[in-house]
Amino acid sequence: MNNKSVTPVVTTVFNFTNPGVDLPALLSVEEASTLYHEFGHALDALFNKSTYNQTNVAWDFVELPSQLMEHWATEPEVLNIYARNYKTNEPIPAELVKKITNSGYFNQGFETVEYLAASLLDMKYHTLEAPAIVDVQSFEKGYLASIGLIPEILPRYRSTYFLHIAGGYDSGYYSYIWAAVYDNDAFEAFKEKGLFDQTVATSYRKNILEKNGTMDAMQMYLNFRGHDAAIEPLLKNRGLLQDNDNKN
């Protein structure tokens, strides 16, 4: 048996906008965010020191590395580095950056509620006691009414095409917003010290990326942050809580 260490190979594959006749391949804001997101997953795999980490990572923690990286994509300090006019090399105008930031707050109340409604519906299905025979449409309608979901807000997915809860995220669709609480709180650590602070970055790498899947997820986070995640950074990021330090 060859006991030599093997250098990990991590590949990310994207399907972004193709170049035009007279234009290079210019990424949209959403595509840039997607690139950072998937790169976060790549870093998690690249730095992880567990041979079998892909099967051991806590499912409600798996999106933390990817969603954390998304924050850098639209930070003004970072945008000034990579978001430049392809003809003049001028950085993106500050006014446009502000518009991008403000647009991220649009409809967040509704979007958060529709997501939470879908997460609760997922949990309701997966806490039924067997044997359970239900009429899907009646079950969905009755449950959403019981939690007080207003008619103006629909669940993100109807039960008949809620594929997440039948293929990997069953009883775990909540994990996106669970991870969002942690990624927003983790990003606060970088904002407190500086987006490129080496001490914070090294702590994040050593305590989370290298150990992901080999230690209790909450313990890893405590080792990195020094405390459990607070919900306030998530609410501020979505415009659902006023940020007194960053008023528009």
Q: How far apart are CA 118 and CA 171, in angstroms?
A: 11
Report whether 235 contacts 80 (CB < 8 A). no
Q: How far apart are CA 178 and CA 68, in angstroms?
A: 12
Report whether 191 contacts 71 (CB < 8 A). no
Cis peptide before 76 (omega within 30 of 0): no
Q: Which of 38, 75, 114, 210 is catalytic?
A: 38
Using a 10 angstrom Cβ sphere, with 0-12 exposed, 13-18 middle and 19 or more buried, the burial of residue 165 is: buried
- Closest by CA position to 10, among listed 36, 35, 34, 45: 45
Active site residue 140: no
Task: Supply the Cα-derived Rg of the chain in whole angstroms.
Answer: 21
Beta bridge partners of 215: 212
Helix axes 217-225, 175-193, angle to 10 degrees: 20
Chain-centroid distance, C-alpha 28: 18
Give the residue numbers annotated as catalytic, written as ranges: 38
